[in-house]
């Protein structure tokens, strides 16, 4: 598996459908890193163009990797070592290309349904297990801006609730999506 994840803080929507840069939730960094470790994701990119937010994310990483956090909780260090902070989705894609020697397919995740270009869990899983380099793109706040959806190669079908409720946190949605796409065959 040559799978990557990106957590996007810009461009995303706020509650009023405006294009914004959201603030970092440090807990998301931990949760995504731990998920990455569990499901053998190669690297998690925390994506924000805001300098102060990049610095906040890097401070969290330093604390847990080099500082007291790493001595206090080794499992956390192990997880957070796979996290990088970058400015844009383009930069994340460029890094992946450097590492893998080829461009990843970008798979956006969205709580709305993007029929034309949507990819089923089965298709996405198959392509990931065929060793296709891929990056799953998750949006914070009220979700990925339409331009990210448009520029992505594919859009993953949403996690649908029984009663049409689809307002999961990005952490829990990422957990479910990773388990569906990268979970072991035995489970």
Contact positions toward a second copy, by CB under 8 A?
A: 15, 27, 30-31, 34-35, 37-40, 73, 75-76, 78-79, 121, 157, 159-163, 165-169, 171-176, 179-180, 182-184, 186-187
- Give the separation between CA 11 and CA 23, rounded to whole angstroms: 12
- Give the separation between CA 99 and CA 135, rounded to whole angstroms: 13
178, 180, 183, 185: CA torsion to nearest 10: -170
- Output 130 or 162, the one with its CB closest to a second copy: 162
- Output 2 or 37, the one with its CB closest to a second copy: 37
What is the chain's percent helix, strand, coil content, to nearest 5? 45, 20, 35
- Output 145 or 171, the one with its CB closest to a second copy: 171
Minimum Å gap between C-beta 160 and a second copy is 7
Minimum Å gap between C-beta 91 and a second copy is 26
Minimum Å gap between C-beta 34 and a second copy is 5
- Output 97 or 112, the one with its CB closest to a second copy: 112
103, 140, 159, 79: CA torsion to nearest 10: 70
Minimum Å gap between C-beta 11 and a second copy is 21
Question: 12 is written with which tokens?
Answer: 């995303």
């Amino acid at each position: 598996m040559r799978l990557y994840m990106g957590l996007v803080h810009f461009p995303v929507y706020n509650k009023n459908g405006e294009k914004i840069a959201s603030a970092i939730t440090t807990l998301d960094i931990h949760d995504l890193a731990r998920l990455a470790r569990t499901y053998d994701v190669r690297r998690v990119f925390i994506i924000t163009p805001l300098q102060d937010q990049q610095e906040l994310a890097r401070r969290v990483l330093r604390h847990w990797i080099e500082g007291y956090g790493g001595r206090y909780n080794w499992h956390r260090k192990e997880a957070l070592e796979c996290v990088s902070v970058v400015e844009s989705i383009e930069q994340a894609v460029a890094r992946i290309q450097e590492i893998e020697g080829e461009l990843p397919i970008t798979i956006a995740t969205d709580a709305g349904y993007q029929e034309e270009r949507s990819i089923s869990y089965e298709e996405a899983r198959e392509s990931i297990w065929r060793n296709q380099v891929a990056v799953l793109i998750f949006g914070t706040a009220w979700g990925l801006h339409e331009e990210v959806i448009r520029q992505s190669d594919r859009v993953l079908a949403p996690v649908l609730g029984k009663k049409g409720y689809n307002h999961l946190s990005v952490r829990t949605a990422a957990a479910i999506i990773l388990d569906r796409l990268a979970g072991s065959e035995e489970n």
